Structure formats: C-alpha cells, structure tokens
Structure 1
Amino acid sequence: MTEKNVRRAAVSALRAWSKGHLYADSLVERQARRNHLSTPDRALLNSILLAVLRNRSLLDHWIGMLRKGKLDHETRDILRVGICQLLLLGIPDHAAVNETVNCARKPVRGLINAVLRRAVAARKTLFSESESLRASIRFSHPEWLCNRWEQQFGHTEMESLLAWNNEPAPVIVRLNTLASHPLDPAKEDQLISLGLESYYQLAGSLPREWVESGQVYIQDPSTRFAVELLDPQPGETVLDACAAPGGKSSLVAAAMNNEGQLLCTDSSEKRIPRLIENLARQQITNTATERFDWTEPAPQMWKSKFDRILLDVPCSNSGVMRRRVDARWRLKPEQLQGLPAIQRLILENALPCLKQGGRLVYSTCSLEPEENEDLILSFLKDFPEVSLLESKQSIPFRDGFDGSYAALLSMKGSA
C-alpha cells in the first residue's frame, strides 16, 4: 500500500463520514479492509482521520486564510488532510505535500500544491493567530455546545473540557478477573498502573492475544461507577437493560463471579451478536441475551423479577467526546430536547421489573443536566415511592476520566 493511497483512503473516509453513512471508527476499519492496509498504514489513516475530525473548524479557518473562494467538498477534504499532516501531525513537509497532491484529481493538483506550500510558509503565522480565535474554532466544537458548557461550567472550565476532548485518548484496559489465565500486571511492562484495581494504561501496542483470549477489555475507569453503585452479588438475578456492546455487563458478571443470572437486553438486533461475542470472549457464563426495546412496557414475566437493574440509557455521549471524536458534530440541540423523554420512558418501563428491596442504577455517559440530575429529580417528584440513595458524576477536566453519571434508586422502605 503506498502512502498516496493512505491519503486517498483518508479523503474517501471523510467524504463518506460527511454524508452520515458511518461513524469514524467504522470508516477506518472499512477503508483498511478495502485497501488492504498494513498495520502502519492503518495507524496513519486512523491518525489523519481522527485529527481532521478533532480540528475540523480550525483547519477550515486556516484553509480560508490560505485560499479565498469556494471549494468543492472533495477538494476541501483533501486540503484538510494535507494541512492536518503539515501543521498538526508533524509529518515531514515533502511527504505531506507530495502524497496529498498525488491523491487528488489532476485538474486540482495545482491548487492543492499551492495551498499546501502556502501553509508551510505561513506555519508560524497560522499558529500564533489561532491563539486569539474564539473557542469554537480554536478547539473545533459547535458554537452552541461551547456556549452551553460555558454557562454550565464557566469559561476556564469550558476551555479545559474542549482541550480534553481534543487530546488523543490513551488506551486503558481492565484486567478480566474471570479469565482462565489472568494476566499478572507485575510481569507485563506494557501495563501502567492507574492506582485503580484492575485498570491499567497501555504503553505501546495492545497485544492481540490479550483481547482475543479475554484477558483484558478496553474500558475507561468511569464505567465502573455505575456498577459500583449497583453492587451486584453472586447468586442474584440481574438485568442489564441497554447492554451492548457489553462493557458494563462484563463488570457486572465479574462482580457476580459468574454466579446467578444476568439478563442482557438491547434494542438493536444488529448489536446483539457483538454483545454475545464480547461476553463469550471474556468467559462469562451466567448470561442470557435478548433483543428488547425498553421504550415499550416490560413483559409480565419480568415484573418484580430482578434484584438489581442497570439502565445505561442511550444518551448524547457528551462525556466521551475525546474517544468518540465525531460525536461533537453529530449532536444537535434538538436531540438534547428529545433524549430525556426517551430516557425517562426507559426508566419508567424498567422500574416495575425491580424486586422489593432491589436496586436500580440509571447511568449515562453525558455531562448534560437534562439527561442526568434534572431527569432524576423530575422522576422522583412523579414517583414518590422511589428514593435516590446516592449518585456519582465524573467530569473529565476534574477527574481525568471520561464523563459519566450514575444514580442509585430504590423503593422507599426497601433500601
């Protein structure tokens, strides 16, 4: 695979992404398969695509400074790919310019070459000028989201959150305590302790055999808050209602030591096979999986059945934008108006499935009050028989992990 074709693959991925066909991580995999990319070429493609999406507004601002006039969509994507390499990824000038120019159609190669060489010449000016840009351009986030977070957190904290989202996320793994041959972290130089039980940051590449054997699962530590509040015990009957792809399900099963019954449901038929695969790989044996949409009332046979219920509801993903780099561009203000109604409905439909004396945890990977504490307070007003026992929230710039929220609920008099 030539470098030219890696740049071409990056442009193709950006074109497909802009049409809303696939998420960024899926596009990397698709282009890697389609172009038979080697491991280094796939890594280069991933770096280029994610860096362009993280810095899209800033790149467009620089393009506007370097070239006046309209550009067709493909030419703009080619310039984004080229300037990103030159100014953000530290790729040598000659390689970035030549390979990017060569991946363009002949009629626009002259234009691409001229703009990229202007970028090389104006590098210092572009960087110094960008320091005074408004946050939405400098950190490449939608203006409405920046305004929202500034009101919620304050200006300094808002910029800290934007900067956090633009940093490449480290690979963090959780050691699987259910594995038949658990890893010994003391013997693995690649594992850097985070001071949290079972969680380690990876130094270097992730050995494929660790994942395939189920010895590790890639997972941010913020995931643990919901399961810690749930506190599932061996022998209990537990429901993970929005389970795919299975990250929290695996934590629940580990806490249960594979003893008892864990029902994992998800509304998406397409996500169920991946859920089953992930659970099997981690040697989880106490689970059943089923497709179910919790915006519908629960079947009668599930009423008052579960000791513990985990509701990791669909959300805005505003707490995990460092890892899901295109989420900032997909999220729209109207979604934040519609999501709480869906989340509330899921909570209302799951509540009757809880046994007397059971625990229910509502969780999101969102930072937004409408999806978190405001929703729970509203729910408690309408369901006075329910108590809020405890809640936890992770804020990235404060806690150093992904953003998340979890609330532990129980029937009054049964905690």
Structure 2
Amino acid sequence: MTPAARISAAIEVLADLAARRRPAADALKDWGLAHRFAGSGDRAAIAGLVYDTLRRRASSAHVMGGEEPRALVLGMLAVMRGLGVEAIAALADGSRFAPAPLSEAERARLADPTLGGAPPFVRGDYPQWLHASLRHVFGEDVVAEGAALAARAPLDLRVNTLKGEAEAVKAELAHLDPSPGRFSPLALRIVLDAEGKAPPVSSEPAFLRGEVEVQDEGSQIAAILARPLPGTQVLDLCAGAGGKTLEFAALMDNKGQIYAYDSDIRRLKPLHERIARAGVRNVQVRSPRGAEHVLADLEGKMDLVLVDAPCTGTGTWRRNPDAKWRVRPGALAQRTAEQAKILEDAAHYVRPGGRLAYVTCSLLDEENGAQVRALLNKREDFHPVPPSENVLALGASGGPLAEAALTSREGLLMTPRRTGTDGFFVSVLKRAG
C-alpha cells in the first residue's frame, strides 16, 4: 500500500470507530480481515496513524475546525507528525486510493496549525470533563502533563532475575538497542520506530525462555515499592494476567508464598502459562468459585496485600489513546465505588504489622489519594508509609524518583512527563502491630 492509501484506510477505520463506538483494536482487526491484501507492515502503519490521531484528537479537531475522521487525520499529520501543508497535499491528491485533494479551507487551516488561544483541554489533548480533576492534581502543569500523555510510549521490558541477568539479557537483545531503565534496576527500554511500530519481542528467544516480560517501568517500580520480601506471605488481590505477581516472585527469589486472585476468572487465564515460562514456583492461583470464599483462610495472615485496583486507566493513555475518549463520568463513579470496597476487603487480610500496597494506573485523586484517605478514616490501625521512606526499596535511584514524582502523605504519583513512565499511583499502608 502507498502512504496515501494507508491514510485513506486510517480515515476509514476512524469512521467505523465514530459510528460504532468500540475499541480501536477491534476496528483495526476487522479492517485487516476485510482487506487481506494489506501486509503486516501496512496494518502496523495504519494502526500507527489511527492511534496517533486518537492521541491528538482534540488538538487536531481544533486545528481543522471539525471532528470528521478526515479532518482529524489531516490535523494529526500537522500537529503530531509535523508535516507541512504541501507534504500533506501530496498525500491527499485524489489519486487512486488516496484521500480527495485538500480544499482551500483545509489548506488554510493546515498552513497555520497553531493552538494559541485554545482551551487547556485542547492543548493537553484530554477530555474536557476531566479538566477539573486533572487540574486539581497538576495545577498549572496540567497542559504539559496532558501533552506528555498524548505522546507515544516506549516499549519497556522487565528482566526476570529468576532466569537471567540484566547485562546478559541486554547483550542478547542488542539488535533492539535497549537502554537501562531510569529508576527500575530490572527495566530495559526500547524506543519505537518513526511510525510507532514495536518489534516482535514475544518471538525473541529471551522472551520465550522467560528471561524478559513486557512491563512498563512504572509498573515495575510499583511492585518494588510494595516490598515483597523473600519468605513472606503475599496476596495479590487483583492479579489479572499476573504482571506484578511474576515480578513479586522474582523479587522474593521464589521463597515464601504468593496467592494470586482475581474476581474475574477470565483475567487469570494467561497467568498459568506465564508462571511456567518465568520459572516461578511460589505462586498459588486461587480462582473465584461461585459463593465460596476461597480466601477465607488468609484473613489476618498476610505480610503484604497488593491491591492493583481496577481504574479508569488515565495513566495509560499513551498506550490506549482510544480509552481516553471512551471513558465517561459514570465509569469514574463506578470505579471509585469498586476501589473503596476492594480496599476495605483487602485490609482484612493484612496481619498486625503487615502492609497494604494500593496501586492504580490513574492520575485522578478521586481514585488515588481520596481512596486512601477514606480507608484511613475507617481503619485507624493503618497509617501511610512516607514516600521518602518507601523509595529506599529502589536503592540509589529511590531519591531521584522521589524528586521526580509527585508525592503526598498518601503516596507517590509517577507520570510520563515527570518520570518517563506510564502514570502510576503507589501508596503503602502499614497496619499497627
């Protein structure tokens, strides 16, 4: 496919999204099935165009004066990919499979794609209804934080120390040009190509042998700050596919016991295969079984309980830009209600003197500090561990992380702009002995 044909395809996919309001991945998959002539490179390039357009949807619409799929893609080419009006006109020239030629109005707008005078939510490319919540957290930096969330995310890997060593794995993956993480000693970072295409890491021998896992550095840091110690009893209460469960096992050197649970048995399915590949031996998966209380025997006995809470995912907008525009106020209300209940339940499993780690991939105080404050008001036997103390688990990089992140009495907030990671909130609470 020509570059112009790929742009036409991206416009077609975005039109499907507008009509059917579904995840971009589903629309892209259906497009690929209906256009089997498109090769893997074409599909990846089209996906890159679609996701870049979603990342910069608000600013692209502002530049073009409309939210039609064509307008959004043309605007994105200017505001994100930096193409001039003549370069865009060469792609939209009306030739076979290319978009129709630019109108005079489109030319005029693309000739001056500035955002001067645009509202903060446009310059920061985030939903207008979330402006008050984001400004509450970031103040005058809200536009800069939003813009960082509208950029592409790198590909982060976690070295599995049960199977390999960081330097050896880095050397084996040298053809991907990985660099060490900024804060996590387990992280390797791979910058994506110009079109945002990630290398097929899951086909690498090091991945197949279980020496690396795909995991954002912020997620890695969150697990380290929870401090799962070798020989202890740990409950991962919202384990999902098990990313932090596997990291816990490595941090614990397979010593002690980890109980991995999730209320949705479907989310646990990948964990079993991942446990085997990673060489993990200290994880017991407990699946929900109807009304049976499968965790009853753990109440009051856990040294550490991790709540990797379901949330709006505002911190992962770089990786899931379509979710940014699909989230609604009702979803936030639903998530905060779920989080409050999960946190209250989790506290029952913590032994006296044990710890409760609360983690979200959200930037919103409603899902972060407010939830911790609410729990502390109900459970006077818990108190927050100061972030300045908690970051010591990272060793030498702990101090720099504390300086880069936003810290509060309740916990620590990482963001793409401040820490180069996805957005993660980490709070560690200790129960009185």
Which TM-score tier does this pair reach, normalised by the shorter chain? 0.7 to 0.9
Aligned pairs (5 A) from 1:187-226: 188=174, 190-196=177-183, 197-203=185-191, 206=199, 207=201, 208-209=203-204, 210-226=206-222
Of 243, 264, 289, which aligns to 2:260?
264
Query: Which residue number in structure 2 is paired with residue 49 of structure 1?
Result: 50
Q: Which moved more, 1:293-302 or 1:309-318?
A: 293-302
Aligned pairs (5 A) from 1:267-286: 267-286=263-282
Aligned pairs (5 A) from 1:161-180: 161-179=145-163
Q: Deviations over 1:110-129 (max 9, x none)?
A: xx4344x753464222x13x
The question of 1:370 aligning with 2:362 is answered no
**CA apart distance, 1:44:** 0.8
TM-score by length of 1: 0.82
Name the amino acid aligned to 1:201. R
Q: Which moved more, 1:4-13 or 1:300-309?
A: 4-13
TM-score by length of 2: 0.79
Percent identity over the alignment is 27
The question of 1:340 aligning with 2:341 is answered no
Q: Does the 8 A contact of 1:172 with 1:201 survive in 2?
A: yes
Partner secondary structure for residue 303 of structure 2? strand
Q: Does the 8 A contact of 1:232 with 1:255 survive in 2?
A: yes
Q: Does the 8 A contact of 2:236 with 2:258 survive in 1?
A: yes
**CA apart distance, 1:161:** 0.6
The question of 1:77 aligning with 2:72 is answered no
Q: Deviations over 1:75-104 (max 9, x none)?
A: x22443344346643675466314797377
Change (3 A) 1:293 1:172: farther
**CA apart distance, 1:265:** 1.7
Q: Does the 8 A contact of 1:174 with 1:199 survive in 2?
A: yes
Q: Does the 8 A contact of 2:415 with 2:422 survive in 1?
A: yes
CA distance in 2 between partners of 1:89 and 1:324 (Å)? 19
CA distance in 2 between partners of 1:146 and 1:264 (Å)? 36
Q: Count how many residue pairs are aligned between Structure 1 and Structure 2.
A: 393
Q: Does the 8 A contact of 1:359 with 1:410 survive in 2?
A: yes
**CA apart distance, 1:252:** 0.6
Q: Deviations over 1:218-251 (max 9, x none)?
A: 2222213432232212333321111122221121
Q: Does the 8 A contact of 2:4 with 2:92 survive in 1?
A: no
Q: Does the 8 A contact of 2:240 with 2:268 survive in 1?
A: yes
Q: Does the 8 A contact of 1:295 with 1:346 survive in 2?
A: no
Query: Which residue number in structure 2 is paired with residue 108 of structure 1?
Result: none
Change (3 A) 1:359 1:88: closer
Query: Which residue number in structure 2 is paired with residue 107 of structure 1?
Result: none
**CA apart distance, 1:321:** 1.8
Partner secondary structure for residue 271 of structure 1? helix
The question of 1:314 aligning with 2:280 is answered no
Query: Which residue number in structure 2 is paired with residue 113 of structure 1?
Result: 101
Q: Deviations over 1:234-277 (max 9, x none)?
A: 33332111112222112111112223322222233332223333
Query: Which residue number in structure 2 is paired with residue 301 of structure 1?
Result: 297
Q: Does the 8 A contact of 1:356 with 1:411 survive in 2?
A: yes
The question of 1:124 aligning with 2:116 is answered no
Unaligned runs of at least 5 residues, structure 1: 66-72, 105-111
**CA apart distance, 1:343:** 0.7
Partner secondary structure for residue 266 of structure 2? coil
Change (3 A) 1:348 1:292: farther
Change (3 A) 1:147 1:294: farther
